[in-house]
Amino acid sequence: MQESDSIYIVGRGPSLASYEFDPAITIMAVSSAVFALQVKPQHFCTLDAVKYFDDRHIADRDHSWPNSVHCRWWDFLHDGDVMKHVPLSRHKPGHERTIAVDLQERINAVHGGVGDKVMAGFEKYPHALGWQPGWADYTDVHAYPMNPATGLCFDPNEQDAMTGLHACSSSMIFAVQVAAWMGFRRLIFVGCDLTHAVYELVTPTLKQWYPAAQKHGIEWVCDTPGSPLAEFMAEGVAV
C-alpha cells in the first residue's frame, strides 16, 4: 500500500510525545490532540464546539492550551492549511448568548432553589455566555450530516454516505469514519492510549468496527504500544 493511501489518526495520549511521524504520511488530529502535536496536521476532526479551541473562552483556565509552552498550533482555527471536519449540526454561524436578568427568580418560583444552581453554573463557566463562535465562521471546514439510522460508512460511494455518517459521541470514532470516507485505506492510530475513563466506550466500538473496516479493504495499524487498540488488533478479529 502506498504512503499516499495512509493517514495518521492522532489522539492526545502521553505516548504521542515521543512519536516520530513519517513526513510522507498525512496527519489527522483528533480534537485537542491538535495542540499536543509537534508537527502541523493537515486535517482536524472534532464533535466539539469551536469555543473549546478558542482562547477567548478557555485562556483563563490553568490547564488551557494557549498557556502551554508545548502548544504549537493554537491558531489552527485560522490556518487554511489545516482542513477542519465537524458534524453538520455544529456548522453554524456564531451568536450572542444571554440570559434574562430575572431567570433566577423565575426558575426559583417554579422549581425551588434550582435557579440558584443554574446561575452558579453560569458563574463557574463564564464562557457559556456571551459570544459563541460557530464553525461556519471559519474557512476550510467540511461539515458532515450525522444520522443515527445510518450504518457504518466506510465508502463514500455507498448509499449510506448520502444520508450521513453514523452518529457517535466520540471525536475519534468520527475521525475514523471521515478518514475512510475521504478514501484513505490505511489508518495508523497514534497517541490513542485510551487510558482515560472518557474513552471507555471507544475501544469496544472500534473493536466491533474492525472487521467491517477489513471487509472494506481498510487496514488499521496501532502505533500506540499498550493501548487497548493494539491488544485487540494483535489478537486478530475474525472477518
What is the per-residue pLDDT across 18-50, written as a single tens digit (0 to 9) for each? 899 999 999 999 998 998 898 999 999 999 999
Q: SS3 for the chain, per residue?
A: CCHHHEEEEECCCHHHHHCCCCCCCEEEEEHHHHHCCCCCCCEEECCCCHHHHCHHHHCCCCCCHHHCCCCCCHHHHHCCCCEEEEEHHHCCCCEEECCCCCHHHHHHHHHCCHHHHHHHHHHHCHHHCEEECCHHHCCCEEEECEECCCCCCCCCCCCHHHHCEECCCCHHHHHHHHHHHCCCCEEEEECCCCCCHHHCCHHHHHHHHHHHHHHCCCEEEECCCCCHHHHHHHHCCCC
Nearest to 54 by CA among 77, 37, 34: 77
Higher pLDDT residue, 97 or 135?
135
- Does the pLDDT at position 115 exceed 80? no
Q: What confidence score (pLDDT) does residue 239 get?
A: 38
107, three cell numbers: 426558575
18, three cell numbers: 515521543
Contact 60, 218 (CB under 8 A): no
pTM of the model: 0.82
Q: What confidence score (pLDDT) does residue 122 get?
A: 63
| CA pair distance 77, 154, nearest whole angstrom | 27
| CA pair distance 61, 63, nearest whole angstrom | 6
| CA pair distance 45, 86, nearest whole angstrom | 6
Rg (CA), the chain: 20
Dihedral in degrees, nearest 10, Cα atoms 85, 90, 157, 163: 170
> Which amino acid would we find at residue 18?
S
Lowest mean pLDDT across 107-116, 125-134, 139-148, 180-189: 107-116
Other beta carbons within 10 angstroms of residue 88's beta carbon come to 15
Q: What's the pLDDT tens digit per position in 199-230?
A: 677 888 888 888 888 888 899 999 988 888 88
Nearest to 66 by CA among 40, 42, 32: 32
